[in-house]
Structure 1
């Protein structure tokens, strides 16, 4: 089952945006990682069996304030 996870990440610079993408890409089974077209502070991860809690925890630890917006099937 494919899951779509959207997280709001507080990013202040381009380096933080790159770091957030790198961390989200390291998640197991991530097929797509990118920013929402309308809101550039929201990271979207799509994949089969992706662990939302693991990604949010890693982003909070490495980038900063992160909030889970939605998890959809």
Structure 2
């Protein structure tokens, strides 16, 4: 079963995007990371056995305090 995690956070500049991608792609179990900018800035992470709280906490510490975990869903 694959997890789909959505985290909402402001994407200010290219440097922030690079940091976000680096943090998300190095987390254990992550297979894909997608940045969405439709209306609200969001990061969609897919993979198996991912700890969403740990990723959100790391983004808050290293990129922005405004990172918010929106949803965690299981997909087939």
Per the normalisation by structure 2, the TM-score is: 0.87
Q: 1:22, 1:40 → 2: CA distance?
A: 21
The runs of at least 4 aligned residues of structure 1 exceeding 6 Å deviation read none
Q: Which runs of 5+ in 1 are unaligned?
A: none
Which residue of structure 2 lines up, in the alignment, with residue 26 of structure 1? 26
Q: TM-score, normalised by structure 1?
A: 0.90
Farther-moved stretch of structure 1 (9-18 vs 41-50): 9-18
Matched, 1:72 2:73: yes
Aligned alpha-carbon RMSD (Å): 1.4
1:16·1:63 contact (CA, 8 Å) conserved in 2?
yes
Distance 1:12 1:46, change over 3 A: same
